Amino acid sequence: MAMPLESPITFSNVGKIKWWQRGIFASQTGYVLLALAVLLVIMHFASPYFFTEGNMQNVAKNFSFIAIATLGVTFVIITGGIDLSVGSMMCFSAMITSMVMTELSAPGSPLVHMAADGKTVLANVPGLILLVSILAGLGVALIAGLVNGFCIAVLGLSPFVTTLGMLSIVRGLGYVVSNGRGSFPGGPDADYFYAATSGDVLGVPVPFIYLVILALAMAVVLHHSAFGRHVFALGGNEKAAELTGIPVVRVKIEVYVICALAAGLQGIIISGWLGSAPANMATSYELNVIAAAVIGGANLAGGIGGPLGAIVGCVLLEVIRNGLVLAQVSSYWQQTLVGVIIILAVLVDRIRSRMS
């Protein structure tokens, strides 16, 4: 018989934690979300243009351009690490993708056998070049992520220094392979490439669709898989994680790989929107990405963070940027304001945890 589960404990001394004292309501993500809602209302009254479809699409597209990388870096931040190489990684993956695409499409390229009709063999299968070139772009990200993870988890180097080095290495390699000129997606699959990166489905920009899918996947992984639980445990108490037999080294390497792959994917998407992968693409984007994650509630000390926070952080940054543009405030002020908001968000969180 299905009996209601009898609690073996009577709670006489220990009160139940109230719903507003737990979960999202007690988190930085919660009140940043609230701040965002207030901001949206203000924007609505301040500018009649703000809530138009065109502007909303613009906002959605713009924040999607850093949000996927922010999801990735959030994994790293939850473990208590940091990845400064995301901006360079975006550029390098984008560059490799468009170079491989162009190269495989060129008749007479040394890598590719010629088919009878003069096109490359790969070009005869629609989309195959696109697939190979995106895999190549993600492949270099995978390698960079593995190197980051190996140095940090196995050699025990500091994440800050390791990924600062990787920032420079990857940016430098981008200049080396392109001779500093950048690269352009080309060949028969270029149209597919643009459709897959900067097109839209029923008026919704595709980067936004990717973002939603990846964020949902991330939520499931973080909260409903053993791996996600280990990611949180690592950030909460690394020593405890190790003592309980969690494969700490493996989990660490995995989060840096995830982060690099997310950055690579993000870069590939941005290059589709720009129509090229210039060698200085996404320079200093790591700052925006980390700022968005932190504003959204990821704690740099580790143990706290999630996809909702990452997205809320990105949206907040973009809405403010958009608002400043609509208000015709100089774009130089944007960066200043971002800094102020980071400090404010962390300050409010500190005050809140002092009070409880």
String marking each residue 337-356 x if it binds other proteins according to CB under 8 A = --------------------
Dmax (CA) of the chain: 83
CB atoms inside a 10 Å sphere around CB 354: 7
38 or 243: CB nearest other proteins: 243
Please report, for residues 235, 236, 309, the alpha-carbon distance to residue 84 in angstroms, rounded to integers and kept in the order given: 18, 21, 19
Min separation Cβ 229 and other proteins, Å: 6
Binding-site size, other proteins (CB under 8 A): 34
CA 146 to chain centre: 17
Considering only 243, 329, 340, 347, the residue that binds other proteins (CB under 8 A) is 243
42 or 301: CB nearest other proteins: 301
140 or 215: CB nearest other proteins: 215
Contact set for other proteins, span 9-48 (CB under 8 A): 9-14, 16-17, 22
156 lines the binding site for other proteins (CB under 8 A): no
DSSP 17-32: PPGGGSGGGGSHHHHH
Contact set for other proteins, span 247-286 (CB under 8 A): none
14 or 155: CB nearest other proteins: 14
147 or 308: CB nearest other proteins: 308
The set of residues, in sequence order, having a beta carbon less than 8 Å from that of 98 and lying 6+ positions away, is 133, 183, 184, 185, 186, 271, 276, 277
Short-list 218, 262, 272, CA closest to 85: 262
Min separation Cβ 239 and other proteins, Å: 6
Contact set for other proteins, span 303-322 (CB under 8 A): 303-304
- Helix or strand holding residue 204 (H, E): strand 204-205
Q: 271 and 119 in contact (C-beta within 8 Å)?
A: no
Q: Please provide residue 102's backbone torsions phi and psi, each rounded to the nearest 5 degrees.
A: -65, -45
Which of these segments, 96-104, 124-132, 133-141, 228-236, binds other proteins (CB under 8 A)?
228-236
The C-alpha atoms of residue 346 and residue 55 are separated, in whole angstroms, by: 29
Angle, alpha carbons 303-151-69 (nearest 5°) = 55
181 or 223: CB nearest other proteins: 223
Considering only 124, 158, 168, 225, the residue that binds other proteins (CB under 8 A) is 225
- Tell me which residues touch other proteins (CB under 8 A): 5, 7-14, 16-17, 22, 220, 223-226, 229-230, 232-233, 235-237, 239-246, 303-304
